[in-house]
Amino acid sequence: MTPLRVAVVQAGTSLFDTPKTLERMQAHCEAAAALGVKLVVFPEAYIGGYPKGLTFGAVMGSRFPEGREEYLRYWKAAIMVPGPETVQIGSFAATMKAHIVVGVIEKEGATLYCTALFFGPDGALLGKHRKLMPTATERLVWGQGDGSTLPVFETEAGRLGAAICWENYMPALRQSLYAQGINVWCAPTVDERDIWQASMRHIAYEGRTFVLSACQYMTRADAPEQYECHQGHNLETVLIKGGSVIVNPFGEIIAGPVYDREAILTADIDLDDVIRAKYDLDVAGHYARPDVFSLQVDTTAKTPVAFTTQETGPLSLPDMIE
């Protein structure tokens, strides 16, 4: 098989300034295209931002007015999917003639979701994955995804899927992606800890898949002046230090990790290595023991309210809004 060049981009958001972030993304895409990549993965919440250090004015049992203003500002920076920003990102993919996977903050009505978007080399939006379980205080500002957005896409760059940040610690979610034959595991994240490296190597080895983990590198200078984060106001303060990495199906690191700077990591991969690796461990195949264990995945979309008319049948709330 002809080697496939893939990349992860370690970069930060211009927080609450989505047009500027898109400008930065375009520059990174142009740089990646010059390296000949066919797939590039951007970090979690890259478009829309990860507001690290904000409290959103909440303590147990109380919410304060300043937190509502912070949420409003965050909501305004989020994007509709599909929408004008997804068209713009699609144009980056089309210019590169490459696949893009990018973390965004998606808004639907007044609710925000942490989402990974998939684009084809023709610029088409292939689909999305909404984070199933926001972590800790992320639950203040992000809704939960459902089983309808757990896709694995068959592409020229492999069978692509994504698990966002601590979703990678959900065994059932991992098994659901393994069972769909994923061979390029995209892991957009903001987890900068050393243990993350062990996790990425474990998933690559367990799933016999290539793992592409893109983490943000963001400093206080990437946030606006009015940004009351607990890390302080020194513009040189690092809010997210990176740690992006690429791992092969034998759990071996083949690019990275890189810390404390923006970077584009590349690797030439052979998708046949997935089959070579599954010779002795296929956790969704000959190593699964379905006579003992089973997993049921509900992939139906869940809507809070459903409306039915005699003329059209069931309508969901989003259909009515449109």
User: How far apart, in whole angstroms, are the C-alpha atoms of residue 244 and residue 187?
Assistant: 9
Is residue 165 part of the annotated active site? The answer reads yes
- Spatial distance between the Cα atoms of 11 and 43, rounded to a whole number of angstroms: 7
Unique residue bearing structure tokens 């920003």: 85
SS3 track for the chain: CCCEEEEEEECCCCCCCHHHHHHHHHHHHHHHHHCCCCEEECCCCCECCCCCCCCCCEECCEECHHHHHHHHHHHHHCECCCCHHHHHHHHHHHHHCCEEEEEEEEEECCEEEEEEEEECCCCCEEEEEECCCCCHHHHHCCCCCCHHHCCCEEECCEEEEECCHHHHHCHHHHHHHHHCCCCEEEEEECCCCHHHHHHHHHHHHHHCCEEEEEECEEEHHHCCCCCCCCCCCCCCCEEEEEEEEEECCCCCEEEEEEECCCEEEEEEECCHHHHHHHCCCCCCCCCCCCCCCCCCCCCCCCCCCEEEECCCEEEEHHHHHC
Task: Find the catalytic residue in 29, 165, 186, 215.
Answer: 165
281-285: Cβ within 8 A, 24+ apart: 281/206, 281/208, 282/208, 283/175, 283/178, 283/206, 283/207, 283/208, 284/175, 284/178, 284/179, 284/181
**From 38, 107, 128, 131, active-site residue:** 131
The dihedral sign for the CA sequence 269, 272, 276, 277: positive
Does residue 186 carry a catalytic annotation?
A: no
Active-site hit among 29, 38, 44, 241 = 44
Give the residue numbers marked as catalytic. 44, 131, 165
